Amino acid sequence: MTRLGLLIDVTKCSGCHNCFLACRDEYYDNDYSPYSAPQPLDGQFWMQVKEVERGSYPKVKLDYIPTPCVHCDDAPCIAIAADNAVYKREDGFVIIDPVKAKGQKDIVNSCPYRVIFWNKELDIPQKCTMCAHRLDQGDREPRCVEACPTGALTFGDLDDPNSTISQYMAEKKIEDFHPEFGTKPTVKYVGVPKRLVAGEVVRADKRGECAEGAKITLEGDGVKLETASDSYGDFEFEGVDKNKTYKLTVSLAGYATLSCDISTHTDVNLGEIVLERA
Amino acid sequence: MAEKVFANLTNSGPVSVYVKDGKIVRVRPLVVEPDDYKPWVIEAGGKKYSPPKKPTLSPYIHAERRRIYSDERIKYPMKRVDFDPDGERNPQNRGKSRYERISWDEAASIVAKEIKRVRETYGGSAISGITSSHHNWGIVGYKMGPFLRFMNMLEYTPVLDNPDSWEGWHWGASHTYGFFWRLGMPEPYDCLGDALQNAEQIVYWSNDPDSTRGTYSGQESSLWRQWLKEKGVKMVFIDPFHNYTNAVMGGKWIAPRLGTDTAIAMAIAYVWIEEDTYNKEYVANRTIGFDKFKPYVMGETDGVPKTPEWAEEESGVSARTIRTLAREWAAKRTILSGGSRGGEGGACRTAYGTEWARMMVLLQAMQGLGGPGRSIWGTTMGAPNDTSTWFPGYGEPDGRMSMSKAANWLPQNPTKQRLWRLTVPESILDGHTEWYGEGFCGKSLEQQFTHFEYPMEGHSEIKMWYRYGGSFIGTMSDTNNWVRMYQSPKLEFVVNQDIWWQSETRFADIILPACTNFERDDIGEWAAIGGYTVHASSGCNYRYIVREQKCIEPLWESKSDYEIFALVAEKMGRRDEFTDGGKTELDWAKAFFDISDLPKYISWEELNEKGYHIVNIRDDYKPTPSMRWFYESRDCDTPDTGNPKRLTEKKAELGTFSGLIEFESVSLKQYFPDDDERPVVPRYIPSWEGHHTTELFEKYPLALMSPHPRMSFHCHYDKHTDWLNDIPVHRIKKDGFAWWPARINPVDACVRGINNNDIVRLYNDRGSVLCIAVVTDRVRPGVIHSYASAAHYDPLQPGDPTSIDRGGCVSILTPARMMSKNVPGMTPNSCLIEIEKWEA
């Protein structure tokens, strides 16, 4: 059996929620034993779409992070489950057996990604099965991927170097959603949002014209990033590490260089940075 | 029992419906045999672009199952408890009183008897009624079919629709470049290919295509924009709200004060003239009246040069930003993404919105509109599309059982009287209205100048109101007036026929439960409405014609609209007339199939069995990009069948009076030469409700923008599809209630002590609406963003037109005032309000 994987490109996700709704449509009130019992009407989000807004007016970013079960190789839910109630298939999917898992509430709380939900009525934990029942019937992909209009979700054979997902993973910088959890997820991400540092360069003596081409550097913690202001005088550093301190410097020929210390405990919009004639 | 799969169609794409034990268990994007698809290929920049072999639906369609089985369905025929057709009618209690269940026989008998009484007493013109749009899909059951056929039999007074989603284009842009046959939107042909091959920049002006989705074409175009982004096409968004297309595309966000877009447009023209960076050859040869326009822009006629600094004062957008935008627009091949199924953002739905739409055309004309990478393109239509295979859409007479050659007999309505949708409440309450404009003026520019008066001489005032689908409290303007209207004793009888309980349902005397298109037979094509948006299926990657198969029996006691009208007609002794001699809905579907081109490609039996037919582009497909012919001074080569000059000796002309792009409008000059609110040459005119209306602005300092919604469609799917309440973009649950979001900048929230997730009251002199505050930097300070089209009208005092609504119908707050004195367009985005934390 081949290993099947899901790759989520956050930079392409528009937040349309097709994946969330298609998932609910598949599972609500539908029994796919032995993979899953019916999902209740409320309160379960097997494919949740998290909204992340960063920056401040008018330098603002909006991202959506689709969050299913990430089907870990070192899955805490498997470790904590009694009676092998949670198991990993050869293709990599982590499945909760709805019969064996009855009453095992610890399975819900074991998940650091918080993607396992408790079904009060049936007394069982439930989560994404990667549509194992559909794939077993011969479908090519889970409902969430089928519904995705932008190509943000890619599903396929990780062992085949020519598969779309393998090629995508070879081209892009792949990451875990939460590497700090250390659970070796098989669902991978591209472009998980980090800190934004942005601003607009303005010349005090030419306020009616945008200041293109100013050099901006961001230095600290062993890294040095450099960019230039664009035709609107805007600049931004995307994907900056969180909780660090940097020195930001703005320089433009003929103008006095400005610099300041910034901290990325939150996103940083410096607003108008006004350069005076040297 | 095994699952059975049916094909069906929605306002946002084709679906496969899985039924088990007579119950729908799953609704998927239509599952199509891969070999049925022959994807088109666009070559650009050394790459080949081709669509995936699947339809991509709008989000809410995936929750269709919940809408079909919604508790909000009207389950039985109902009568208002204090309505007695033979005694006290108590119209003042509409909106307050309870309902009791009655039989279909009783309901149909009362409706038939009232029709007879009203017609005999006042004549057919005393009956009027109106539909909502797009709550179902399929030409057999669509409103233009059964509703219109039945109403024409009664010789009723039709209500003229205003072009509500793109007003300024209709009443303004058409006087600069024609396209009245597209209600002011340009032709969309092959704009995608042109963009991929030629565009360097796209300016989205008051346009959020990721949310409005070409109206009916699902999310097919989102991948097109991904391609353009990956190609490095620069994206600019002009919108007081950092909209969802902006969010996924990135790029430059420019946020003007609401209603000041035209000032920015003037300043862009100023920069181009001052810096001599416009296409002088095009302006000289393809336009007229520039010599009248230029002096206004440069300040020679009014002493006010329309400089970027002047526009900064008006709009709050810095002069340097406007200057750079103008320069990049001139230097880069730039597509203007405002119209062509992209007008729904709001700038075209403001006071004097005609002027903004005219300026969109004129700015692009100054850069050679129609040239490579210089189109007006909403980004949601214009894929390669086979236009040679004809299948009727509901927008054309042949797609309506009320007018089609598919019928043996067609009722003729001799009644000349009309109502105007926006002023229906005023007409009923005041008994008199006047306006210019024949609704959807798609036959000629002159139709915009036709004068109407209600009541028309020799006709009756309206006594009976037949509402079919009913949700205007969430979509029209100053909508407490609809509550007042319904309680007027002038309306002796009100029927509401619908599938779900809507904002207006509870104002009826008799309520008739209809069923969805999943509970009856129909036929239709995805996104293809025909008529005034001909070839709209180019918003989809393929053409899908679907035999909409009845999946389940009508739920509860509901019936199809067709069956309901047939039943009432039967009580009137006219069933045979209505059903065209006993046709079933399946017979009608077959009749429409027979008159189409489809029999050349697939048999009725096969279509019936398979459920769908894909129309691919032809092997010899040749792109004919929108307006390229005009740019190159050639004869029109696009398949734009509505263009009345296309097959005449004037085929190289636009639809304007002069045949050219008009800076000085010949049509306006001829009909309204002295109109200072839609002047012959466009001007920036500050809003009659905005930051210049000092007294009002001091009282209500926030501008409400209420564009078309992202997670629902008109008023459909909201309220009736509970899963959407788990999507915070749509509604946010708090204390057991799903609230409609109002987005507010932190600066405005802070001074009012408003925190995220607080319940807030939005109010002005017209009303009060409760929403949930979403404090966000994605909205400009001074602006509140809250979508129009809430379906949940939930007044704290039912039946009181001054009540606070907690359902989120912000249209209660928007002005009923028309765009300008001779332009009867709506203006929801010229609306001042205040907002406060709601403590009760």
Would you say how long chain B is, in residues?
840
Does residue B685 fall inside a structural domain?
A: no
Q: A76: cis peptide before it, omega within 30°?
A: no
Please give the tally of structural domains in chain B.
3
Q: Are residues A158 and A228 in the same domain?
A: no
Rounded-to-integer distance, Cα A24 and Cα A31, Å: 13
**B695: which residues sit within 8 A by CB, 6+ positions away?**
none
Residue of B49, B320, B721, B743 to mutate, testing the A interface (most A Cβ within 10 Å of its Cβ): B320
Q: Does position B350 have pLDDT exceeding 60, yes or no?
A: yes
DSSP reduced 3-state for A27? helix
B340 pLDDT band (50/70/90 cuts)?
A: low
Question: To the nearest 10°, the Cα dihedral for B110, B113, B115, B117?
Answer: -130
pLDDT tens track for B25-80: 999 999 999 999 999 999 999 999 999 999 999 999 999 999 999 999 999 999 99
Residue of B62, B67, B724 to mutate, testing the A interface (most A Cβ within 10 Å of its Cβ): B62
For CA atoms B410, B413, B418, B423, give the dihedral sign: negative
Q: Show the tokens assigned to B715.
A: 């008023």
Q: Are residues A96 and A163 in the same domain?
A: yes
DSSP track, B279-327: -HHHHHHHEE-HHHHHHHHHTTTTS----HHHHHHHH-S-HHHHHHHHH
Of B219, B250, B309, the CB nearest to A208: B309
Q: Are residues A40 and A77 in the same domain?
A: yes
CB atoms A15 and B244 under 8 Å: yes
Rounded-to-integer distance, Cα B396 and Cα B184, Å: 17
Q: How far is A79 from chain B (nearest CA, A)?
A: 31
CB atoms B727 and A17 under 8 Å: yes
Which residue shows structure tokens 């009508």? B554
Q: Are residues B561 and B658 in the same domain?
A: no
Mean pLDDT in residue range B683-704: 98
Which residues of chain B does A45 touch, with a Cβ-Cβ cutoff of 8 Å? 726
Give the CATH number for residue A48: 3.30.70.20
Q: Are residues A149 and A264 in the same domain?
A: no
The pair phi, psi for residue B253, each rounded to 5°, is -105, 120
The last residue of a domain, from among A190, A213, A237: A190
CB atoms A17 and B781 under 8 Å: no
Which residues of chain A does B726 touch, with a Cβ-Cβ cutoff of 8 Å? 20, 45
- Give burial (CB, 10 Å; 0-12/13-18/19+) of A69: buried
What percent of chain B stands above pLDDT 70?
A: 99
Mean pLDDT in residue range B415-436: 97
Rounded-to-integer distance, Cα B840 and Cα B836, Å: 12
DSSP reduced 3-state for B38? coil
Rounded-to-integer distance, Cα A124 and Cα A245, Å: 46
CB atoms A15 and B319 under 8 Å: no
CB atoms B778 and A21 under 8 Å: no
DSSP reduced 3-state for A275? strand
Rounded-to-integer distance, Cα B684 and Cα B315, Å: 12
Which residues of chain B does A16 touch, with a Cβ-Cβ cutoff of 8 Å? 58-59, 210, 219, 222
Which residues of chain B does A146 touch, with a Cβ-Cβ cutoff of 8 Å? 28-29, 54
Which residues of chain B does A22 touch, with a Cβ-Cβ cutoff of 8 Å? 28, 62
pLDDT tens track for B1-26: 689 999 999 999 999 999 999 999 99
Q: Are residues B130 and B249 in the same domain?
A: no
Best CA proximity match to A191, nearest among A171, A209, A216: A171
B140-156 in b/e form (b: 16+ CB < 10 A) is bbbbbbbbbbbbbbbbb
pLDDT tens track for B371-384: 999 999 999 999 99
Give the CATH number for residue A234: 2.60.40.10
Q: A16 and B59 in contact (C-beta within 8 Å)?
A: yes
Q: Are residues A200 and A184 in the same domain?
A: no
Does residue B352 fall inside a structural domain?
A: yes
Rounded-to-integer distance, Cα B345 and Cα B240, Å: 10
- Which H or E element spans position A54? strand A48-56
For residue A12, give the chain B residue with the closest CA: B248
For residue A45, give the chain B residue with the closest CA: B726
Rounded-to-integer distance, Cα B585 and Cα B517, Å: 11
Which residue shows structure tokens 């062992």? A159
Q: Show the tokens assigned to A11.
A: 């930079």
Q: Are residues A265 and A165 in the same domain?
A: no
Which residues of chain B does A29 touch, with a Cβ-Cβ cutoff of 8 Å? 25
Q: How far is A84 from chain B (nearest CA, A)?
A: 31
Q: How far is A51 from chain B (nearest CA, A)?
A: 9
Question: What is the phi-psi region of residue B729: left when phi exceeds 0, alpha when psi lies from -120 to 50, beta otherwise?
Answer: alpha
Q: Are residues A179 and A209 in the same domain?
A: no
Q: B29 and A146 in contact (C-beta within 8 Å)?
A: yes
Which residues of chain A does B247 touch, with a Cβ-Cβ cutoff of 8 Å? 14-15, 61-63
Number of H helices, E strands in chain B: 25, 33
A185 pLDDT band (50/70/90 cuts)?
A: very high
Q: How far is B56 from chain A (nearest CA, A)?
A: 5
Q: B513 and B577 in contact (C-beta within 8 Å)?
A: no
Best CA proximity match to B481, nearest among B418, B417, B419, B422: B422
Q: How far is A58 from chain B (nearest CA, A)?
A: 7
Q: Are residues A58 and A117 in the same domain?
A: yes
3-state SS record for B605-636:
HHHHHHCEEEECCCCCCCCCCCCHHHHCCCCC
DSSP reduced 3-state for B364? helix
CB atoms A29 and B25 under 8 Å: yes
Of A12, A57, A151, the CB nearest to B777: A57
CB atoms A58 and B780 under 8 Å: yes
Q: Does position B731 have pLDDT exceeding 70, yes or no?
A: yes
**Catalytic residue flag (residue B164):** yes
Residue-number span of the structural domain to which B716 is assigned: 694-837
Q: How far is A39 from chain B (nearest CA, A)?
A: 13
Q: How far is A56 from chain B (nearest CA, A)?
A: 5
pLDDT tens track for A103-113: 999 999 999 99
pLDDT tens track for A118-130: 999 999 999 999 9
Residue of A12, A17, A274 to mutate, testing the B interface (most B Cβ within 10 Å of its Cβ): A17
Give the CATH number for residue B778: 2.40.40.20
Does residue B391 fall inside a structural domain?
A: no
Mean pLDDT taken over chain B = 97
B342 pLDDT band (50/70/90 cuts)?
A: low
Q: B596 and B391 in contact (C-beta within 8 Å)?
A: yes
Q: Are residues A87 and A120 in the same domain?
A: yes
Find the catalytic residue in B18, B60, B134, B177. B134
Residue A136 one-letter amino acid:
D
Give the CATH number for residue B243: 3.40.228.10
The last residue of a domain, from among A156, A190, A224: A190
Best CA proximity match to B270, nearest among B245, B313, B305: B305
CB atoms B777 and A208 under 8 Å: no
Please give the tally of structural domains in chain A.
2
Rounded-to-integer distance, Cα B347 and Cα B243, Å: 14
Does residue B479 fall inside a structural domain?
A: yes
Q: What is the pLDDT of residue B240?
A: 97
CB atoms B220 and A29 under 8 Å: no
Best CA proximity match to B591, nearest among B526, B521, B540: B521
Q: Does position B343 have pLDDT exceeding 80, yes or no?
A: no
For residue A25, give the chain B residue with the closest CA: B26
- Alpha-carbon distance values, A94 to A223, B62, B770 (Å): 39, 25, 44
Looking at the complex, does the CB of residue A60 fall below 8 Å from at least one CB of chain B? Answer: yes
- Which H or E element spans position A5? strand A4-9
Residue-number span of the structural domain to which A162 is assigned: 4-190
Rounded-to-integer distance, Cα B798 and Cα B793, Å: 10
Looking at the complex, does the CB of residue A156 fall below 8 Å from at least one CB of chain B? Answer: no
B345-355 in b/e form (b: 16+ CB < 10 A) is bbbbbbbbbbb
Mean pLDDT in residue range B689-693: 97
- Give burial (CB, 10 Å; 0-12/13-18/19+) of B367: buried
CB atoms A60 and B242 under 8 Å: yes
Which residue shows structure tokens 């009282």? B699
Q: What is the pLDDT of residue B491?
A: 98
pTM: 0.98
The last residue of a domain, from among A153, A175, A190: A190
Q: Does position B505 have pLDDT exceeding 80, yes or no?
A: yes
Looking at the complex, does the CB of residue A207 fall below 8 Å from at least one CB of chain B? Answer: yes
Q: What is the pLDDT of residue B165?
A: 87
Q: Are residues B326 and B418 in the same domain?
A: no
pLDDT tens track for B136-177: 999 999 999 999 999 999 999 999 999 988 999 999 999 999
B585 pLDDT band (50/70/90 cuts)?
A: very high
Q: What is the pLDDT of residue B339?
A: 62
Mean pLDDT in residue range B534-551: 97
Find the catalytic residue in B76, B156, B164, B204. B164
Give the CATH number for residue B527: 3.40.50.740
Q: Are residues A51 and A182 in the same domain?
A: yes
Does residue B63 fall inside a structural domain?
A: no
Rounded-to-integer distance, Cα A210 and Cα B326, Å: 12
Looking at the complex, does the CB of residue A57 fall below 8 Å from at least one CB of chain B? Answer: yes
Q: Are residues B441 and B531 in the same domain?
A: yes
Of B324, B778, B779, the CB nearest to A231: B324
Pairing between β-strand B47-49 and β-strand B42-44 as defined by DSSP bridges: antiparallel
For residue B237, give the chain A residue with the closest CA: A58
CB atoms A202 and B320 under 8 Å: yes
Which residues of chain B does A149 touch, with a Cβ-Cβ cutoff of 8 Å? 56, 218-220, 222-223
For residue B59, give the chain A residue with the closest CA: A18
Q: How far is B476 from chain A (nearest CA, A)?
A: 26
Q: Are residues A168 and A71 in the same domain?
A: yes
Does residue B6 fall inside a structural domain?
A: no
A1 pLDDT band (50/70/90 cuts)?
A: low
B345 pLDDT band (50/70/90 cuts)?
A: low
Which residue shows structure tokens 């075209």? B348
Find the catalytic residue in B394, B542, B544, B763. B394
DSSP reduced 3-state for A122? coil
pLDDT tens track for B250-281: 999 999 999 999 999 999 999 999 999 999 99
Mean pLDDT in residue range B803-818: 98
3-state SS record for B191-231:
HHHHHHHHCCEEEEECCCHHHHCCCCCCCHHHHHHHHHHHC
DSSP reduced 3-state for B344? helix
Q: Are residues B376 and B432 in the same domain?
A: no
Best CA proximity match to B123, nearest among B492, B493, B459: B459
Q: Does position B404 have pLDDT exceeding 70, yes or no?
A: yes
* CA within 13 Å, CB half, B358: 24
